[in-house]
Structure 1
Amino acid sequence: MDFKAIRIFEEEGKFIPKIVKRNIGDLPEGDVVIKVIYSSLNYKDALSCSGNKGVTRNFPHTPGIDAAGTVYSSENSDFKVGEEVFITGYDLGMNTDGGFGEYIRVPSSWIIKKPKNLSLKEAMIYGTAGFTSALSVYELISMIEPEDGPILVTGASGGVGSHAVKFLVKLGYEVVGVVGNEEKKDFLLSLGARETIIRNEFKDLSNRAMLKQTWAGVIDTVGGDPLSMAIRSLKYGGAATTCGNVAGGEIPHMNVYPFILRGVRLIGIDSVQCPKEKREEVWNILADSWKGDQLEDGIQEVLLEEMLEKVQDMLNSKLIGRVILKHSS
């Protein structure tokens, strides 16, 4: 059977995206074939589309690290034809052809059965971004109570950050978000953030080991200077989670003093190889107590033919909120 997919080709050192026809027989090995109904756009997808070899080693390739749909065929008795399922993480869309194609073939161990209270569209509105955000919030609230003080979210207008704002507000926390520019402030305030800070204003030129104690906790999605600022301004006993590096893989001006003098904690978040038991636990929370009325706020739904334009918007830091892909067939 033929189907449509976005395919990234390497031609004379350049990476060229095309929408092509493929055949299910061309898909990589796996014991379950899924007819993809929804996917979503994540920063890793944008990097893969641009030929980043740190994300995708071999081309041609189909990005899409998220996919939700129905089982088309299965060699595993745990998954029945027509059953609604989804995948986030593992190698999907990185070196295994992903959700920017209308069909995927994957190992059954990667697949999550859709919780009863969650639609396929809602699963992709969350996607890797929402799941990563949920893991971050899940870790933070085990240590920080709402009365302890405000929570700072860096990269707050992006997919992970905007979900974190929604979750924290729903759980009763006071949230302050760092955003890239003025036009993103209203979006964040509409999600319930108490206040926003423009990224260029969130900086410290003193390079002091510790700054004024301001935040009870931090959800960091960008790394680099913002994470350094956030850690150095945590309150005593505070904690920060970190899951991204768009602002840099280093943490400048950092030393041990916030950790040994204020007892702060830094927690790394990995959504790719997260154990399946924890993955299912968090997805069930997302389908139930954390699912709010604002889930679809800030969501853009696009067709396959529109996705590459959104990829460029993401690479150029012009994207606000979250983009999901709806396959037309």
Structure 2
Amino acid sequence: MFKALVLNQQDNNTVVSIEQLDESTLPAGDVIVAVDYSSLNYKDGLAITGKGKIIRDFPMVPGIDYAGQVISSSDDRYQPGDSVILTGWGVGENHWGGMAEKASVPANYLVSMPAGLDSRKAMIIGTAGLTAMLCVMALQDAGITPEKGEILVTGASGGVGSVAITLLDQLGYQVVAASGRPENSDWLKAIGADRVIDRAELLEPARPLEKQLWAGAIDSVGSKVLAKLLAQVDYQGAVAACGLAGGFDLPTTVMPFILRSVKLLGVDSVMCPIEKRTQAWNRIVELLPESFYSDAAKEVSLDAVPELAEAITNGQVTGRTLIKL
């Protein structure tokens, strides 16, 4: 038997329960993992609260990422006792996820634990940190170097934003954090932001082109905020876009692209190929300071998740939330 957070649907409403399940109920997979830690992401919050159409088949165990030890494996790449990480691939959406003491997945979904990490650190990073690293890599590939100027990070108090700030700072960039929570300003500066601006500055409707302010940006908000960034990015600048917390629309024009050669870089971590995924994990290990793991996360039990899921969808969660299984 193992403990799991289970989502069901009743009268078109999502119902959350914490249950003891038999191992025979696990979905088919090559590898069974004893989950040490999962984490709470914005997408998990949408799934658990039912605010987003994340899950279509019930019952479902949410949790889009986890880390733990292999219990059994029918794939030669993994042996009992191996430490592994799972992020993406639709896990926690259409395949049972990490908010359970055990999980079963195809071997191709897993990444071996990089040297220098353990399960707890891996989930402090989690999907959010992996996405942040992929965004940083996208900016670097687009030629955005520290000498070009400031990098703006939106959703700065969230998981992607907070990790992105630290990664950029470690690489020598000048980082500006955009946050709607002024009480987090000191914390944002402590993890690497050079200065903090009010998110409200980015919510006014964008003109086709505005004053050039940023060499580049990492955006997890979308909608009006992303449109504003595109109008403010320097000539030949770039924006790495990875989220839609503010909406999936984009009220912009072609002007930034054809008059300033601005690049809009879409970043996805769900279906990211294993080779690039592994490269990103290794770079994260190299870049994140040891202090990050104590400064940027709080640890909770599975019982606390339903309440926190509501909070994260309302923008009330700071940094990373670690779930100890």
Q: Same fold (TM over 0.5)?
A: yes
Aligned pairs for 1:220-299 within 5 A: 220-252=219-251, 254-299=252-297
1:107 Cα deviation from its structure 2 partner: 0.2
Q: Which whole-Å CA distance do the structure 1 matches of 2:66 and 2:317 have between them?
A: 21
1:53 Cα deviation from its structure 2 partner: 6.0
Unaligned ranges ≥5, structure 1: none
Q: Which whole-Å CA distance do the structure 1 matches of 2:10 and 2:54 have between them?
A: 18
Aligned pairs for 1:196-207 within 5 A: 196-205=196-205, 207=206
Cross-structure match for 1:164: 164
**Letter of the 1:257 counterpart:** M
Aligned pairs for 1:57-96 within 5 A: 57-96=56-95
Q: Which whole-Å CA distance do the structure 1 matches of 2:203 and 2:75 have between them?
A: 52
1:132 is aligned to 2:131 = yes
TM score, norm. by length of structure 1: 0.95
1:56 Cα deviation from its structure 2 partner: 0.8
Cross-structure match for 2:177: 177
Q: Which whole-Å CA distance do the structure 2 matches of 1:250 and 1:292 have between them?
A: 38
Cross-structure match for 2:40: 41
SS of the aligned residue for 1:288 comes to helix
Cross-structure match for 1:303: 301
Q: Give the superposed CA RMSD.
A: 1.3
Does the CA contact (< 8 Å) of 2:49 and 2:310 recur in 1? Answer: no
Cross-structure match for 1:112: 111
**Letter of the 2:315 counterpart:** S
Cross-structure match for 2:19: 20
**Letter of the 1:201 counterpart:** E
Does the CA contact (< 8 Å) of 2:242 and 2:268 recur in 1? Answer: yes
Cross-structure match for 1:218: 217
Does the CA contact (< 8 Å) of 1:125 and 1:296 recur in 2? Answer: no
Relative distance call for 1:171 and 1:107 in structure 2 (3 A) is: same
Compare 142-151 and 283-292 and name the one that shifted more. 283-292
Relative distance call for 1:53 and 1:232 in structure 2 (3 A) is: closer
1:144 Cα deviation from its structure 2 partner: 0.9
Q: Aligned pair count?
A: 324
1:135 Cα deviation from its structure 2 partner: 0.1
Partner deviation per Cα, 1:285-321 (whole Å, 9 max, x = no partner):
1122445532331201111112222112112221111
Partner deviation per Cα, 1:54-100 (whole Å, 9 max, x = no partner):
31101221100011000011111110001111100102111111110
Cross-structure match for 1:147: 147
TM score, norm. by length of structure 2: 0.96
Q: Which whole-Å CA distance do the structure 2 matches of 1:221 and 1:169 have between them?
A: 18
Q: Which whole-Å CA distance do the structure 1 matches of 2:136 and 2:52 have between them?
A: 30
